[in-house]
A and B are shown apart, each in its own frame.
Chain A
Amino acid sequence: MSSSLAIQRENIRKLFPDTFKQARKSRLRGQIIFFLVLVYLIVGFFTLDVVDIPKKWKPQNAAMFVLDTYAHKDHVTMKWENHEDIKIAFEGNYRSVYGRDNLDKSIPDWFYKNSDNVGNVVEFNNKGKAILYKDKVEIVNFPKYERDFTIKLNSNGKPYLVGSEDLVIEDLKGFRITENRVEFRPTLYERIQVYPKKVEIHRYSIGWKYFWFDFSSPLEPYTFFEALGLTFSNERVVPEMSNLKLFFTEIKDNDAFMHGRVWWAMLETIVMAVLGTMFATVMALPLSFLAAYNVTPIKTLRFMLRRLFDTLRGIDFLIWSLIFLRAFGPGPFTGIFAIGFTDTGTLGKLYSEAIENTEKKQQEGVVSTGANKFLQHRFGIIPQILPIFVSQSLYYLESNTRGAVIIGAMGAGGIGLQFLGALATGNDFENVAYMAILVLAVVIFMDRLSAWLRRILIGSDQLIVR
């Protein structure tokens, strides 16, 4: 069977030698291209330092970053010189200290007096405890640890782990001991650091605390829905204003997540994208008619407009935004004009191509009625290209939303700049995550919105090219 197949194959090969030669040639070309691409990828691998990824990628940093995006922490600080003065602060912020007189903020229930009535206990979420004494810190009850530990200060005032000489490395897992510091971090969620001057404990919990109402807000004791329910009651939480007003001002002026500022910035970004796209559409519409050969007979004008479109498009919106940033200063106008100018080029080119691709027959029909030039275009061309125009503009609206975020980061303001600011502080990663999610949501929303509008306006959510 197989041998007869082979003979048949040979026969076919002999019958059509040219076809097979061609096939071998094109296969060889494909192989050469494949080989070249492979060589380039290897070159790129080394020139772009992709090999350095393991060296540059610090898992510890990344883990901390990710941890901070979804968790919050409370700092407990005790100074050795005054062991009764223990400060508990949210995220270590001096403005968010628990139990401070003027704030009527009760001490959280995971901090309490030990049963011996001497030490103070910090209980972690995994039931492990750190007990603070006048002269030592005891670490007890940690899961996966067979024994308890004690950290003391030696005669030189340096911290040390009691009995650490007798312990094997296995037992010391989670400890990091240097001359001036003993750190115990069994998992990412618990961290105990002992310094010559003080003890600092970080206690992590999952979730965005104070997302709606910040630490010092009068509405903080309530959850979001409780507070929403309060807006319907007549009893005022604070005497100065009604509950409804309080509800919104407290959310808006949230210190931690800055909803007011973030949402305003988001609005700026959306305005940049929407008005920029509108500007481009309005500019490109008449210009594209002038650049289409079936409308404009003047060749020089068409040529010049075509080159204008190329230039507007070629000067990337990056460069446009730099120029406009100098003129208008930071703000949405910069973004609107940068997007508008770039897209006038893009849309102008696409529109004029669409006009040139219209059916002649409709226009001829209008001509036959004796209509003038304007009416010919109005009834012969516009009905054909309107869906394409709408489709293209809406399609660009979505990508311009992303562009507006970028222009914002360049200095034009909006959510892009807020994002850079939050990232630059180096510890507000929950804000970074919040804004990233917000941007993602808005971009996806714009995508869906433009698809929906395309569907109801022109009956198809696919991009029409011609």
Chain B
Amino acid sequence: MTKALPANLEQIEVNLKKLTNQRTRSSLLGIAILILIFFGGTLVSLEANAGSFGRGIANFFNYPRDLFVDTFEMGWKYWPRVIKYIPELIITLNIALFSTSIGFILAIIFAIFSSRNLIRNKRVIQFTKFLMDVTRSFPTLIIAMVFLYLMGKSSLPAVIAITIHTAGALGKLFTEAIENCDGKPIEGLSSVGATWTQKIRFSVLPQVLPLFLSYGILRLEINVRESTILGFVGAGGIGEMLAALIQWNYGADVLACMFLLVGTIIALDYLSAYWRHKLIGANQ
């Protein structure tokens, strides 16, 4: 055994060298592709951009500076303005919360019908998965724009768009959660003759509900951002107000809206981290 080693060692060395070379080669290839993409993309951007890159960099701080200067000129009169936009913020939050709730319920239905351990029929699973893929892939903006066109200006298009997107996005995560859940409680319930709904209620749901809620909270955070953006194209709320203020060049008010938004998003970020931590434990 020990005598055979030297010959083998050589072979091992050769193999190692081969592997290392291969690794280096594929790394270099990857880096080359990345550099190619970078330069290609930069060329496209330079071609397509209206202003030049250099001037853009130079002008970068102009707009934020204008906003802050405008705000400081107002002094203490500024704070009532911030408060003035809180109702708009509440509309945005309302849109997000409501459509997340409805999307959450739809996503549960989607997930039940696309989980391999709950549904036997392959066609149903495939169809539901396809439906989720499509609803998830459309940017909310596109759905919202179409409905805005069809229904006129109101918050409804945003609600519809976010609900559709949320149903697809959460549905996919929920499906994974259900498919990964422990099969033994289901077997246990089957052994005592539980019906399909009872099995879901007493074995699947208790296992996945904390995970569902955690995903839902994460989605809520994303949807607050989404509903702001949809406000920008006419769905109401603080986004629409911000768009108007920018057009009128009311610097201080723009900054007030931005403060509210950033504050809300950061607060939600912490809250959601806290809630999720409570729901599913420290490191999951």
Residues of A near any B CB (own CB < 8 A): 37, 40-41, 44-45, 47-50, 52-53, 56-58, 61-62, 65, 264, 267-268, 271, 274-275, 278, 310-311, 313-319, 322-324, 326-334, 336, 357, 402, 405-406, 409-410, 413, 416, 419-420, 423, 426, 432, 436, 439-440, 443-444, 447, 466
Q: Which residue of chain B lies nearest to A416 when distances are taken between CB atoms in the complex?
A: B141
Could you give 18 example pairs across A and B, Cβ below 8 Å?
Answer: A40-B101, A47-B94, A48-B95, A56-B152, A61-B150, A268-B45, A275-B38, A313-B269, A316-B228, A326-B63, A328-B56, A329-B50, A331-B50, A406-B229, A420-B145, A432-B146, A443-B137, A444-B137
Q: Is the CB of B138 within 8 A of A56?
A: no
Q: Is the CB of A52 within 8 A of B63?
A: no
CB of B2 closer than 8 Å to a CB of A:
no
Question: A334 to B59, alpha carbons, bound, how many Å?
Answer: 13
Contacts of B178 in A (CB 8 A): none
Question: A436 to B63, alpha carbons, bound, how many Å?
Answer: 33
Separation in Å of the A318 CB from the closest CB of chain B? 5
Query: What 0/1 readout, one digit per residue, does chain B (41-59) give for beta carbons within 8 Å of chain A?
Result: 1101100111101001101
Contacts of B145 in A (CB 8 A): 409, 419-420, 423
Q: Which residue of chain B lies nearest to A323 when distances are taken between CB atoms in the complex?
A: B63
Q: How many B residues touch the partner, as a band?
A: 35 or more
Q: Which residue of chain A lies nearest to B158 when distances are taken between CB atoms in the complex?
A: A48
Question: A447 to B138, alpha carbons, bound, how many Å?
Answer: 12
CB of B106 closer than 8 Å to a CB of A:
no
Q: Is the CB of A322 within 8 A of B151?
A: no
Q: Is the CB of B98 within 8 A of A41?
A: yes
Question: A271 to B45, alpha carbons, bound, how many Å?
Answer: 7
Q: Is the CB of B64 within 8 A of A275?
A: no
Q: Is the CB of A318 within 8 A of B229?
A: yes
Q: Is the CB of B156 within 8 A of A322?
A: no
Separation in Å of the A24 CB from the closest CB of chain B? 16
Q: Is the CB of A49 within 8 A of B155?
A: yes
Question: A430 to B50, alpha carbons, bound, how many Å?
Answer: 28
Q: Is the CB of A328 within 8 A of B53?
A: yes
Question: A322 to B246, alpha carbons, bound, how many Å?
Answer: 9
Q: Is the CB of A271 within 8 A of B44?
A: yes
Q: Which residue of chain A lies nearest to B64 when distances are taken between CB atoms in the complex?
A: A323
Q: Which residue of B98, B146, B150, B233 is within 8 Å of A44 (Cβ)?
A: B98
Contacts of A310 in B (CB 8 A): 266, 269
Separation in Å of the A404 CB from the closest CB of chain B? 9
